[in-house]
Amino acid sequence: MATVRASCPSCGDVELTTREVQVQVCSATDEGTYSFLCPGCRLIVNKGAEQRVVELLVSAGVRVVSWDLPAELSEPKCGPPITYDDLLTFHFELDSEGWLEHVIAGGGPLGSR
Ligand SMILES: [Zn+2]
């Protein structure tokens, strides 16, 4: 099994086996990242990877995972953007009695009752 040398922001250079590294490639943009659990600090390190690095890691036997952008990104968006006032209204609404029932019953925009 090949050894991969990577860098942790806290611990510096660390050595990993190919089994301890994973490559992620976005299906829509082809952008790649790789991640590993740092053997030093036990935190997950995630870094961007150019195509060349992705190919190198994959040819060394690193597992590749393809991921999709969230479907919400392609949903049509309408209406004005929310404002700080909307957020404040929502905050107070959540603190009020029966807010969930009001929303479920289609009681109109929050703050309208
Ligand atoms: Zn570390």
Express each pLDDT in 80-96 by its tens digit: 999 999 999 889 988 88
Q: Over the stretch 33-64, which tens digit does the pLDDT of each residue have?
A: 999 999 999 999 999 999 999 999 999 999 99
Cα–ligand 1 centroid distance for 9 (angstroms): 7
Record the pTM: 0.66
How far apart are the CA of 3 and the centre of ligand 1, in A? 17
Residue 100 has what pLDDT? 87
* pLDDT for 109 beyond 80: no
12-17/3-8 β-pairing:
antiparallel
- C-alpha 68 – ligand 1 centre gap (Å): 28
d(CA 3, CA 109): 57
Q: What are phi and psi of 110, to 5 degrees?
A: -60, 145
Measured in Å, residue 46 CA sits from the centre of ligand 1 at 11
